Each structure stands twice: as structure tokens, then as C-alpha cells.
């Protein structure tokens, strides 16, 4: 069964993950470079726990990290979406992006995340969207900066110190 489609951008469709996407999740978790900035326990829990967590977010919060498929060939490029997170004791909505290694360097994360930020601010009515990023994760910080997000303090997330990036404005991104 296909997952519920949420957003379309110039090159991507974002849809809900389904039980059938377990092999895709397993591929992501098996790639050490892709998972380099995530805590070891997340990888150790395995793909079924990861997938179940996202499905629970859809049911409980109404949104979550979605599967990004490339429009031209349906290739699963990664996970891009929104997640409700406790940030220093307040519930906030985080934009997240995680791409399979072959799809880095094409602007897909920025393109998908821009649509998610707009959706969070305009459709969900969030007052701001945050991104929680490890200090050493420069590629992720570059995405946040391209999206017009600024650093606003730090937070402990999944047991690790993260920078909090935030924006209250939907990004206007021109094509290339
Ligand atoms: C974070 C992550 C998604 C960033 O990937 P990325 O490919 O650098 O980001 P984008 O998809 O936005 O692509 C931007 C790059 O594509 C280039 N690009 C190529 N064609 C492009 C196009 N048509 N449009 C826009 N950018 C394009 C940009 O110049 C930029 O390259 P640069 O950084 O060398 O300047 C990726 O490193 C990743 O998945 N990491 C592992 C998971 C992770 O850590 N996630 C974040 C947790 S906080």
C-alpha cells in the first residue's frame, strides 16, 4: 500500500513511510557515513524500531519524517520531514533531512526541507521551525543556513549536545 502523499516540490514527492519501506530504512541505517552524526543506540535498535517510531509520529502527531522520492524516476532519495521534539522543555517542530549517500550534492535536502518549513508554518500553524544539528555536522548546518535558519542556543537531544537552528519565515528558494 502506498503511503499518504504530503508534499510535492520541483523534483521530489514526500509521502508517509509504510511497513513496505523497511528495506529502504535498513539501507540507510547500514551506511556509517549517513549515520555518523546519530547516536549509536539508534542504529543498534535496528530498522524496525526506526520505522515504527516514524509510523507512531504520523498517528500521534499527524506528521513526521517522510520518504522523499525523486519525481523523475521514483528513486527513494532519503527521509525529509517534520518531527515534534522536546527542545529544552518546550515542544517544538523540527525539520529533518537524511539522504542516501548517492543523493548528496544535488540540492534535494534543501529543496525538500524548504517545503516542509513552509508546511509547518503555514499549514500546521507553528510559530517557528527548528533544526537540531551536531556542532561537527557541517553539511547539515549548510542546509539550515541555505534555508535562512539562524542558531539560537543549544539543546541536549537523544543524549547528545546539538545546536538549535530556527526560523519563523518560509524560505524563498529560486531554482538553479
Ligand atoms: C545533511 C545532508 C542531507 C546534506 O546533504 P547535501 O547534499 O549537502 O544537501 P543538499 O541536498 O541540500 O545539496 C546541497 C549541495 O548540492 C549542490 N547542488 C547541486 N545541484 C544543485 C541544485 N540543482 N540545486 C541546489 N543545490 C545543488 C549545492 O551546491 C550543495 O553543494 P555544496 O554543499 O558543495 O555547496 C547529508 O549530508 C546527509 O544526509 N547527512 C547524513 C544525515 C544527517 O546528518 N542529517 C542531518 C541531521 S541534523
pLDDT digits (tens, 9 = 90+) for 36-48: 999 999 999 999 9
| 3-state class (DSSP) for residue 3 | coil
Q: Residue 176: is its pLDDT beyond 90? A: no
Confidence of residue 119 (pLDDT cuts 50, 70, 90): very high
In this model, does residue 172 exceed pLDDT 90?
A: no
Q: Does any ligand 1 atom lie closer than 6 A to the CB of residue 117? A: no
| CA distance linking residue 66 with residue 17, whole number of Å | 6
Distance (Å) from CA 110 to ligand 1 centroid: 7
pLDDT tops 90 at residue 1: no
Q: What is the mean pLDDT of residues 9-23?
A: 98
Query: Is any atom of ligand 1 closer than 6 Å to the C-beta of 140?
Result: yes
Q: For position 173, what pLDDT does the model report? A: 74
Residue % of the chain over a pLDDT of 70: 98
What b/e string do you get for 43-58 counting C-beta neighbours within 10 Å, with b at 16 or more?
beeebeebbeebbebb
- Cα 106 to middle of ligand 1, angstroms: 6
Please tell me the distance between residue 89's alpha carbon and the centre of ligand 1 in angstroms. Answer: 30
Alpha-carbon distance 9 to 117, whole Å? 12
Going by their DSSP bridges, the two strands 12-15 and 160-167 should be labelled as unpaired
54-93: per-residue pLDDT in tens? 999 999 999 999 999 999 999 999 999 999 999 999 999 9
For residue 102, pLDDT beyond 60: yes
Q: Give the position, in ligand 1's atom list, of the atom nearest the Cα of 100.
A: 39
- Predicted confidence (pLDDT) at residue 174 exceeds the cutoff of 80: no
Q: Judge if the beta carbon of residue 142 lies within 6 A of ligand 1.
A: yes
Q: Check residue 175 and give its pLDDT.
A: 46
* Whether residue 58 has its Cβ less than 6 Å from ligand 1: no
Q: How far is CA 14 from CA 47, 81, 162, in A?
A: 20, 8, 26
Domains of the chain (ranges plus CATH)? Answer: 5-130 (3.40.630.30)
The mean pLDDT value for 1-6 works out to 89
Amino acid at each position: 500500500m502506498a503511503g499518504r502523499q504530503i508534499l510535492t516540490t520541483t523534483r521530489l514527492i514526500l509521502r508517509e513511510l509504510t511497513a513496505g519501506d523497511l528495506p529502504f530504512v535498513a539501507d540507510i541505517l547500514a551506511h556509517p557515513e549517513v549515520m555518523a552524526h546519530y547516536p549509536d543506540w539508534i542504529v543498534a535498535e535496528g530498522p524496525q524500531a526506526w520505522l515504527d517510531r516514524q509510523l507512531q509520529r504520523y498517528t500521534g502527531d499527524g506528521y513526521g519524517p517522510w520518504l522523499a522520492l525523486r519525481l523523475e524516476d521514483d528513486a527513494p532519495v532519503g527521509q525529509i520531514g517534520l518531527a515534534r521534539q522536546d527542545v529544552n522543555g518546550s515542544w517544538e517542530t523540527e525539520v529533518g533531512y537524511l539522504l542516501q549517500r548517492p543523493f548528496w550534492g544535488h540540492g534535494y535536502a534543501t529543496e525538500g526541507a524548504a517545503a516542509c518549513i513552509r508546511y509547518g508554518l503555514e499549514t500546521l500553524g507553528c510559530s517557528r521551525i527548528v533544526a537540531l544539528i551536531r556542532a561537527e555536522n557541517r553539511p547539515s548546518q549548510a542546509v539550515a543556513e541555505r534555508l535562512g535558519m539562524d542558531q539560537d542556543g543549544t539543546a541536549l537531544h537523544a543524549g547528545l549536545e546539538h545546536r538549535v537552528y530556527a526560523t519563523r519565515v518560509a524560505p524563498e528558494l529560486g531554482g538553479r
